[in-house]
Chains A and B, each alone.
Chain A
Amino acid sequence: MAPILETRSVSKSYRIGLRGEFVHALQDVSMSVGEGQVFALLGLNGAGKSTLTKIFLDLVRANSGEVLLFGEPARTSGWKRHVGYLPELFSAPGSMTIRGVLHYLGQLSGLRGTILNQRVNAELEELSLTDLSERRVSTLSKGNVLRLGIAQALLHQPRLLFLDEPTEGLDPAGRRMIRNLLIRLAISGVTILLNSHLLSEVELVAHRLGILHRGKLVASGSSSDLLPPHQRFQVEIAVIPPEERAWHHAKTAGIWTREVEGADDLQHLLSSLKSHAITPLAVKPLQTTLEDVFLEHISDLNK
């Protein structure tokens, strides 16, 4: 299946100020997203996630490389009727009402008359904004402005969605609502590129993940591809261990801990302890989260 979204060796750099530092926002990024997939871009602030999204949408121009949407170069505009976009820190003129913003952007998307009204009402309902529809944007909370941003992105029923931090600033109930919405959209075949800091949220909705760090795509794949293949364990002992450097010493409790990965390594460690007549206090299985994987990639590169 041809990817809906693809970059080939995309790089972007810019200078901060006239004589400022030269920043490499993206370096040789290649990735692809298939139809109906939810692809999550993870990364610290300034990693290049938003820049990459804007390059896809031709809002920022890459210095080199190729960007394709629906198999066509991003510079052509054929994709514009099929794409929805929520920018980071979405905002609209404060004097406009929620309904006014949706009507305006709906018209620009080519919707007219009854269909436009139906779609506006449907999205107001879906994002729980119906009761606020006549409120001015300037009077809305941050969370409701974000909901408005998501509503406008979905208004014309796009096949491809770019969501830059769609849950930032939402309360737990709002986050759950957006998460469920994303799952429903993915089931209905909408392709989604998601930028997020909230790894626990991403883990629940994304089919594939990409970790961007300092402009480089340092890892990508499904959650199971990125998570370690073996179970990790933590072993605790109460005496000075034979290979002291490999252990962490919890001074206050007088306990030493060590983590190992996989049953074989665990068995090997236990045998070694037994040969030194040390009985472990506890052997605890550890769960590796996406956050662990993410931080591991980041810290490896920071070394």
Chain B
Amino acid sequence: MIFTIIILFSFTCWLSSLILLRKKQAGYLHHMTWFLGLTTMAELSGYLVYFQFHQKNNYWVFNAFLPVEVFFLSWLFYKILSPYCNCKPWILAGLTVFFTIYLYESFQSSFLGLSMNAKNFSSVFIIVICLSYYYFLLKSEEYIRLKTHAPFWIVTGCFFFYFGSVTCDIFFDHLLSINKVTIKPVRYVIFIVLNFILYSSWSYSFLCKYRQTTSSY
């Protein structure tokens, strides 16, 4: 099998971004195209390293991609939150802490392991940003039709993904050892569901943005 289900989700979302997010009209969302391309490549690389090249450790692939993921999502949330507040200092502070933890852990494991503490911190950081977005949305006096509001669906997808993955990340080592012994890929199944929620929300947000830009003509 060339693709796993998660790679398929990622690729489909990337494809939808290529079709629906054209440069000028999509604004800052256009940059999600290259990010999703990189994500798909990272997922594919991880799969190929583990299954095709029979290397037992493909963590370094995801570890290398982790800063890209966190940096891009921080920039994306900065763009989404800037109409509501000046979040730049908070996001920069969060990124600084993340990179500090990430570099420390990566050097400890010689960049071969997965920086779990950095990953956990980034998950909490992104969850807090998502909750801040909901807070500003509730506080705002302006009415926004959320069903067709692209930023809302982007944030919601991220929120469900990172909020749902917290437990798996905390019990990462336990689940890994359980899978080795009993072949119960619990983490994999949970992440299939979470990735489905994430990529389908994002694809829907691209559709909303596309409809918004085409209906304005």
A and B: bona fide binding partners: no
